[in-house]
Structure 1
Amino acid sequence: MHPRTTDVVGNPLGWLDSHARRREEAGLRRVVRPRTPDGRTPGNPPHEDPAHPLDLASNDYLGLSRHPEVIEGGVRALRTWGAGSTGSRLVTGTTTLHGDLENALAHHTGFASALVFASGYAANLGVLTALTGPDDLIVSDERNHASLVDACRLSRARVLVIPHADVEAVDNALAERSWQHAVVVTDSVFSADGDLAPLAALHAVTRAHGALLVVDEAHSLGVVGPGGRGALADVGLAGEPDVIATVTLSKALGSQGGAVLGPPAVRAHLIDTARTFIFDTGLAPACAGAALAAVEILTSTPDLADDVRRHARRLAALTGAPRPAGAVVSVVLGEPERAVQAAEICRAHGVAVGCFRPPTVPPGTSRLRVAARADLTETDLAQAAGAFAAALGTLPPGVPGPPGTPR
């Protein structure tokens, strides 16, 4: 039976039950876990959910989401501008605060200009759909984030998905010259694997072919490069005329929102053509105020980026994972059930970690995704060591290492 055939005549959603059963059998059901302000999951027995769990699951890489100055930046904006932005950026949704944030982001990352969107997802959709069309080519890494995958699908351009971090494949794709404009798009730090794209080599190839390089810096802003300026700044590519970056404000900056960074002409073009900018409600002022405060902290405290990278290396050593490029430590375990079991054992020991399963990662590579933070203490790391020892030590033998070949 086709998976979407109705199970009961007249019930167009009857297929959902059988679909849910198949996902349950494959270990792929997702659960939404509400948390209280102290990080607990309401209703869980104390032995399954300690009073103060250690958060190694979130993307709050610098621990800024609860920083007093970041909170005050959001509160001050809330009192000044109100709860919502009241409209799209082109109508009433742009405040002077949005402009201040854009200037701060551009200055910190080394780009000429920035344009803030309501989310990082919207920024990725906006930039690729505005810069490409039916006569163009997008070359996309196979492990790019879902927002980039969706942007490629919506662009109407021809899309070539190439093996992970394969510069030669990019070169070959661009050499066809069956395109009017071409864009190479990649994450800088990949969100599930934690590895770094070969940005310098990719840029050399794109420049040689007259193409554009678009890099999602979501997991490198605040973590990679001098003072957390990002992976592009680390290899000297920030501000190059054929390089565009996207960032999110919801990870290292502890707030919400996204931005596109690049030449002023790109900013002007996006204002005119990016549908996720034109038709979406502008970023809430409180989020803009909090993000601006976070950028100011990052600029004045550049050692934060060093701290999070050092803690990530410690966590990788505790789990036997590969050395991470940023904050993301990827502990590949194999089948979904193994990853779920390990994550639950960690939780029982007071440590929350991410549990990534297909389709987020390739079949056979379900994993724990452990996220380091700059504000971890020696006590935190000792607690993590105990949890990992319990979780990984109870798994059956034969736990695979990181995936050796691209999917």
Structure 2
Amino acid sequence: MTNSWLDDFPVRIKELDHAHLRRRRAVVTPDGGARLKVDGRSMLAFCSNDYLGLSQHPELVQAACAGAQAFGVGSGGSPLVSGHSAANEALEQELAAFVGLPRALYFYAGFSTNVGIIPALMGAGDAIFSDALNHACLIDGARLSRAQIHRYAHLDLAALDHELAHSSARRKLVISDAVFSMDGTCADIPALLALCERHDALLLLDDAHGFGVKGPQGRGSLAEAGLYGAQASRRVLYMATLSKAAGAAGAFVAGDDALVEWLLQKTRSYIFATAAPALLASALSASLRVIAQDEWRRTHLNQLIARLRSGLTAGLQGSGWQLSESHTAIQPLLIGPNDKALAAMQGLRERDIWVPAIRPPTVPEGTARLRIALSAAHTEADVDLLIETLTTLAKTLR
């Protein structure tokens, strides 16, 4: 009897092990700060997207508990059946007001939002224009739509303009991260919108890593560009996750009322999935209040970003390691070869510092990196320790 293809999986898993591509660890956050207990070991973590340090905030925890007391722990159905609670309804109104757009739709997760809304908007015969470094959920959503996909070089607006001008499709959708998750670079939102206006296209902006951090009172990248409230455009569909700076879970999409209504009626990952529990909506309502009120969190985070960049720029001269041009909480340290990036990650781990090494296929070949993520929960001493440790490792791993 020949071997079954199912017998291949143990071999393929060993190949992943050999490439150091298997990674999952049990963690505990002991005190709400920047330390994690990883497999029982206390580590200073620069790997979380909890940019404002809100995931353990007492007001969010209390709101979640109150929500559980009022609504229970599960929604019990899809949003179009019985799962859309009064708390979820209130959150949608609060989210729309927070980002200055007419209407919002609340989803249970960010990935499912993008893989659902893109096929709801576009189909065969339509055209999608995607930045080369977009997140996987945008890429997968575009593929699921069956539309023609035009991939333009990262932030290359001239190339995008050319592609849009030469497309014969009636319906055109430009999709882009606002803050790119592996590079920390930012899209030129006014310029993207101008191209969409010129070529009768819709802009889908994924602000997973900008919401809560950028813009006045943390209202996001669109607000930072001045494109909200009275200046909002019906050509912009704004998406953001609520699992990063907002400190909880879920995502939302906001924009013109007719667009959002269409997505409510046509997005399969919304219609056929159980709604997010009301306790999360309760926590997120509290999160929006804290985000708007606690300006010190963004101020402190920006000071840490500047401190890290200044320290590493000086300390890594001549090492071949280089910070990318990012002024966000995402600070990729480009190392190059996979083995060097893995060695740097291991060297940090031996000193009880957790920074993940990101390698192909997540990033292009030859650009393996340490993805440093800063948070308002970090202290200046935390950042100084990371600078000192990386400077030492860069010398020993040459």
TM-score, normalising length: structure 2: 0.91
Whether the 8 Å CA contact 1:312–1:324 is kept in 2: the answer is: no
Q: Indicate whether 1:266 and 2:259 are aligned.
A: yes
Q: Aligned partners of 2:275 and 2:335: how far apart in 1?
A: 41
The residue aligned with 2:369 is 367
1:14-39 per-position Cα deviation (integer Å, ceiling 9, x unaligned): 333443444444x3422211113432
The corresponding residue for 1:5 is none
Equivalent residue in structure 2 for 1:220, among 204, 210, 220: 210
Aligned counterpart, 2:329 = 327
Indicate the residue corresponding to 1:279 in structure 2: 272
- 1:289 maps onto 2:282 in alignment: yes
Residue equivalent to 1:402? none
Q: Which residue of 2 aligns with 1:42?
A: 39
1:70, 1:390 → 2: CA distance?
39
2:193 to 203, 227, 238: 203
Counterparts in 2 of 1:387 and 1:287: CA distance versus 1, 3 Å: farther
Residue number among 121, 137, 140 corresponding to 2:127 in the alignment: 137
2:16 corresponds to 1:16: no
**Aligned partner of residue 150 in structure 2, secondary structure:** strand
Report the Cα distance in structure 1 between the residues aligned to 2:226 and 2:154, rounded to whole angstroms.
22
Does the alignment pair 1:98 with 2:88?
Answer: yes
Identity across aligned pairs (percent)? 35
- 1:312/1:371 contact within 8 Å kept: no
Between the aligned partners of 1:28 and 1:55, the Cα distance in structure 2 is: 20
Q: Is the 8 A contact 2:324 2:334 kept in 1?
A: no
Distance 1:35 1:224 in 2: 28
Measured after TM superposition, the shift of residue 248 of structure 1 is 0.4
Q: 1:175-196 CA deviation, whole Å, 9 max, x = no partner?
A: 1231020000000000000011
1:379 alignment partner in structure 2: 381
Q: Residue 138 of structure 1: SS of its match in structure 2?
A: strand
* Deviation of the 1:126 alpha carbon: 2.1
Deviation at 1:327, TM superposition (A): 0.9
Greater shift in the superposed pair: 59-68 or 280-289 = 280-289
Residue identity in the other structure for 1:377? T
Query: 1:256-296, CA deviations, whole angstroms, 9 ceiling, x for partnerless residues?
Result: 00100111111111111000110011112222222211111
Structure 1 303/323 Cα, relative in aligned 2: closer, same or farther at 3 Å?
Answer: farther
2:137 paired with 1:147? yes
Matched ranges for 1:65-76 at <5 A: 65-76=55-66
Q: Give the match for residue 194 of structure 1.
A: 184
Match of 1:33 among 9, 17, 25: 25
Which one of the candidate residues 345, 348, 356 is aligned to 1:346? 348
Q: Of 355, 358, 378, which residue of structure 2 is paired with 1:356?
A: 358
SS at match of 1:13: helix
Is 2:44 the counterpart of 1:54? yes
Q: Is the 8 A contact 1:223 1:306 kept in 2?
A: no
Give yes or no for contact 2:127–2:167 (8 Å, CA) kept in 1. no
Query: What is the DSSP-based 3-state SS (H/G/I as helix, E as strand, rest coil) of the residue aligned with 1:14?
Result: helix
| Structure 2 stretches lacking a partner, 5+ long | 31-35, 314-322
The structure whose residues are more often helix, as a share, is 2
What's the CA shift for 1:350? 2.5
Query: Is the CA contact 2:335–2:367 (under 8 Å) kept in the aligned structure 1?
Result: yes
- Shift of the alpha carbon at 1:382? 2.5
Secondary structure of the residue that 1:57 maps to in structure 2?
Answer: coil
Determine if contact 1:237/1:243 at 8 Å carries over to the other structure: no
Corresponding position of 2:237: 244
* Residues 79-94 of structure 1 aligned to structure 2 (within 5 Å): 79-94=69-84
Correspondence for 1:3: none
Other structure's SS at 1:277 match: helix
Structure 2 residue corresponding to 1:78, chosen from 41, 62, 68: 68
Task: Give deviations 1:200-230, integer Å, cap 9, x for gaps.
Answer: 2111111100101110000000111222111
Q: Which amino acid aligns with 1:121?
A: F
Question: Aligned partner of 1:389: which letter?
Answer: T
Measured in 1, the distance between the counterparts of 2:275 and 2:69 equals 17
Question: Which residue of 2 is the match for residue 311 of structure 1?
Answer: 304
Contact 2:178 2:205 in 1 (8 A): yes
How far off is 1:138 after superposition? 0.3
Is the 1:343–1:391 contact (alpha carbons within 8 Å) kept by the matching residues of 2?
no
Deviations 1:50-107 (A, max 9, x none): x3x2221010000000110011111111111111111111111111111221122111
How many residue pairs align between the two structures? 381
1:359 CA displacement: 1.2
- Alpha-carbon RMSD across the aligned residues, in angstroms, is 1.7
Given residue 15 of structure 1, which amino acid in structure 2 is its aligned partner? D
Alignment partner of 2:393 out of 391, 394, 402: 391
TM-score of the aligned structures, taking structure 1 as reference length: 0.89
